[in-house]
Each structure stands twice: as C-alpha cells, then as structure tokens.
Amino acid sequence: MSKNIIFSGMQPSGVPHIGNYFGAIKNWADLQDDYNCLYCIVDLHAITIRQDPAELHKNSLNALALYIAAGLDPDKNILYIQSHYKGHTELSWLLSCFSYMGELGRMTQYKDKSANNPDNINLGLFAYPTLQAADILLFGSHLVPIGDDQKQHLELTRDIATRFNNIYGDIFTIPEVFTPKTGARIKRLSDPEKKMSKSDGEANYVAILDPADVVMKKFKRAVTDSDTEIRHDPENKPGVSSLLEIYAVATGTSIKSAEADFDGKQYGFLKTTVAQAVIDNVTNPIQEKYNDLIKNPDYLHQVAKKNAEKAAEIGEPILTNVKKAIGLLL
C-alpha cells in the first residue's frame, strides 16, 4: 500500500469524553487523507471483564455511530468491529505460541485489572497483550497512536514480532509509536492537575453526549483558584490554564488569543464561555449527527460489515504468510 498504515483499537466502554475527543479522535480525523487508517472497536478485549450482553451489543453499535459523528469518515477509514474479522483471534493463538508467560505477567495493566477484579482473573485478561499484538501485526501496521499507559503493550508487540521474524524471516512489520503533531491533554474539571478520566465520577469529565445544560453545570463547578487574573500558567494556575486550553482547542485558536479574549474578565465569565464553546463546537454538532446515525442501525451494520471485509483484504495475506512460515498445511 502506498500510504503508511495506522491502527488503533477502542473498547466499546460507553460514551467518550471531551478529553478523548480532543486528545485522540479529533486528530484521527485529520489523518484520514494521509494514512491508511484502521480504527477497530475491540469488543473481544472488552469481555475480559464480564459484560452484560445487551449492553455490549448496544455499546458496540453506539461506538461506531459516535466515531462517525465525531468526524471519522467510514469511506476514508476502515471502521469496524473486532469480532467481525476472525483473523484477530486466529493470529492471536499463533502469536501466543511465541509469547512468554513471564513477559505477559509483567504487564502493568494485567496487574491492575487483576487487583480490581480478583474474582475474575481469567486467561483472556492474562493473554490480552497477545490479542493486542495480533490486532496490530495483522495489518502490517507501521504506526500506532497510543498513550503512555499503552507503551508497555506496544513494546511487547514489537518484541513478539521481532522474535517471530528472527525465526522465520521478515514476516511482520515492526510498528512504531505515532505521536500526532497536535493534541490536547484535557484535565479533570475538579482536579486540573490530573488527566480527564471517568474513573473519579461524572463531575470530573464532560461526556460527548452530555446535554447542553449538564455541560454548562459541570464547567460552572470547575476548579480555578483564589486569584482573579485569567492567564495561562499551568504551574501556578492549573485550573484556569486548563479552561483556557479547552477553549483554545474548542474554538481552534491559540492560547495567546484565548488569554486576550478573557483579558479583564471574571472567572464566572471564563467558565460559561468555555462551556458554550464546547457546546457549540463539539457536543451539539456531534450529538446531532449521532442522533441521526443511531436511528439507522441498518446503515451502521452495513458500515461494520463492509469495513470488516476491507480489513480482511489487508489481513488475510499477512495471516497466510504467518501460517506458511510456521509450516501449517494450507
């Protein structure tokens, strides 16, 4: 393929927040003309933790609708559901024979999830990184956009691929970390020194599907400081700085311009204006598109099926080469 391949997997774990949007999804939409992009909704990874079947089914379809609504064109990107292409699980088994127990047991995510779910420490949770390696290597992915919490898994993917290549020749492309030129690390509204997350309650994050009045209420409660000057100073004024950063990315302006917009204004004005910028430029437009898409499940199923077939067109030749290299009878 003439363009480098980017792969990213996303769990259908509910509604993304604006941190997910500004930090990842918005940037992915900017890549679709320059790269061959595969964005996979990884429902098989999700089941390492017990799921309600109806919720998992609904969340997978909703995730597909949300990513399209947020700007990922299903004709320019390969947007599909992981379980719709059997190559993921097939390659995962093959790679498990080249993955070592010790390196899987050292994975931080495995340790954390085991501690949080002591009654369900299953084989899938332990072998999660091998399936993740299969996700990436199946398509000859050159680049993988990841956060700091996933770097350990990508390093393991590279180790497995290198180990396989050292035995059988250059079968796998060794993937690299992809760091977008732009991307915002949005902070929690009630704790602006930490990255926005769903883990500490709804007051900390703004979900893409939050109604406008809820978005406004959350921003009005955002932490600032006892000073009165609105300036970008992350070390001394993390709350105000975070709000300025959100305003800048929501409106497409610079931090310097954002500071000028609020020169001489009060914190209350800052909070409501930032909230309105998010409502006008992010949540309302995405929700409008999402609501139209979710009313048409036949279209979403068609997109998922068509794009799973596209994924298979890329993956099958690589999977066949792996089988041939190992010596499987084809």
- Residues marked active site are found at 113, 195, 198
Report the SS3 class of residue 126: helix
Neighbours of 115 (CB within 10 A): 9
Q: Which stretches of 169-296 are DSSP H helices?
A: 212-220, 238-251, 255-261, 267-278, 284-294
Contact present, 72 and 79 (Cβ < 8 Å): yes
Q: Strands 78-81 and 36-41: what pairing? A: parallel
Residue 328 CB contacts under 8 Å (≥ 6 apart), including other chains: none
Neighbours of 51 (CB within 10 A): 15
Contact present, 95 and 165 (Cβ < 8 Å): no
For the chain, the residue count is: 330
Residue 30 CB contacts under 8 Å (≥ 6 apart), including other chains: 180, 182
User: Which helix (H) or strand (E) covers residue 73, if one does?
Assistant: none
Q: Which 8-state DSSP code applies to residue 36?
A: E
The rounded distance, in Å, linking the Cα atoms of 62 and 289 is 12
Retrieve residue 61's tokens.
């379809």
Q: Which amino acid is at 231?
A: R
